[in-house]
Amino acid sequence: MAGPALAHWLRHHGFAPTVVERAPAPRPGGQAIDVRGPAIEVLDRMGVLAEVRAARTGTLGTSYVDAEGAELSRTEGETFTGGPVDGPDIEILRDDLSEILVRAAPAEYLYGDTATALDQDDHGVLVHFEHSAPRRFDLVIGADGLHSRVRSLAFGEVPPHHLGVALAVFSTPNTFGLDRWQVFHSSDAGMVGVYSARANAEARVVMGWHCTDLPRDPDAQRTLVAEAFAGGGWETPTLVEAMRTAPDFYCDTMSQVHLDTWSRGRVGLLGDAAHCPSPLSGQGTSLALVGAYVLAGELAHGGGLAGYESAMREYVRLNQALATEHQGAPPPPEAVRKAVDAIDLKAY
């Protein structure tokens, strides 16, 4: 999210951005995500808000079931993350928003490559790539997520702060008869959920469990998920089997990134690479969108990397706290609203 959004605003301010993406193409799959508060204003200023609203999930509610599938409770009129279905917040599939942002960001894209070294001086940064020839840039911004390569090259190894939970997400056919609905089951193993997507044509599965050490290899991750949920009730065995062959399987820890500074010379960090709040906050996408807008504006109007960090620090702190300061319970609405609205967007 952060990279294409930044490319859009850099182009808007007259810069010539190059986006380097390690994957060979925009990646499909991922969780439904939320866009809230100032981030919605950013999408409006980008000219894509109507398109994003048209692609929202349209979820009508959530059921919670026991091991036999009997409904224990339900909530109607709000998404799993607590936002009202007909409210101003937007729930949209991660890959749908990504596609919209890439289309809105005319830039040079280098797919299937990544930086391997950064040599900077007072005037620029020479970037060495895994596959392409070295190139020199005025600035390098790491918008490459929780396990940022740019961060490790410029800052050294900074292990994310693991919150003790892991999450797996993948797509599967909607064989459950779900109509804009979500179903969740909790057990000693963890939480399993499935929800319909894209006008009920498919479903997304989310599986969360307590995990202290997650391997990076996807095959090892699949094995770990299967072991964690072995013998689970409800549709858990069916979903575990679907996971084994899902082409868009994604798995990672719920972690945060805490840094004393988000820049080193002419190298800066944006979004999860700088300050991942974890999906437990529900605010990672909004932080990325707002950060991209602010960073480009500060670069264009003289504030630079320091101005961007000054404008964003308190906003980030409050949103990271949504995931850590409520003892695992959903944060109260007043805390969410305070965090969401904790920044005033300048008209750059």
Averaged pLDDT for residues 256-263: 98
Mean pLDDT taken over the chain? 94
Q: C-alpha angle with apex 157: 155 to 163, nearest 5 degrees?
A: 115
pLDDT in tens, 157-182: 999 999 999 999 999 999 999 999 99
pLDDT of residue 85: 66
Report domain extents, the chain: 2-56+88-160+257-340, 161-255
pLDDT of residue 81: 55
* Confidence bin at 63 (pLDDT 50/70/90): very high
pLDDT of residue 327: 63
Q: Are strands 161-173 and 32-35 parallel, antiparallel or unpaired?
A: unpaired
Q: Is 29 left (phi over 0), alpha (psi -120 to 50) or beta?
A: left
pLDDT of residue 118: 98
Separation of alpha carbons 228 and 82, rounded Å: 27
Q: Residue 84: pLDDT above 70?
A: no
For residues 86 and 28, the model is more confident at 28
pLDDT of residue 333: 86
Q: Residue 147: pLDDT above 80?
A: yes
For residues 84 and 302, the model is more confident at 302
The pair of structure tokens assigned to 20 is: 């380097």
pLDDT of residue 186: 96
Q: What sign for the dihedral angle of Cα 103, 108, 114, 120?
A: negative
Q: Residue 268: pLDDT above 70?
A: yes
SS3 call for 201: coil
Q: Residue 339: pLDDT above 60?
A: yes
Lowest mean pLDDT among 75-79, 83-87, 193-197: 83-87
Residue range 161-255, CATH number? 3.30.9.30
pLDDT of residue 330: 78
Give percent of the chain above pLDDT 70: 97
Q: Is the CATH code 3.50.50.60 the one for domain 2-56+88-160+257-340?
A: yes
Diameter of the chain measured on Cα atoms: 65
Q: Residue 82: pLDDT above 60?
A: no
pLDDT of residue 88: 85
Whether the domain at 2-56+88-160+257-340 and the domain at 161-255 fall into the same CATH topology: no
Name the DSSP class of 78.
Answer: B
pLDDT of residue 83: 60
Global pTM reads 0.95
* Confidence bin at 206 (pLDDT 50/70/90): very high
For residues 253 and 77, the model is more confident at 253
pLDDT of residue 303: 97
pLDDT in tens, 22-56: 999 999 999 999 999 999 999 999 999 999 999 99
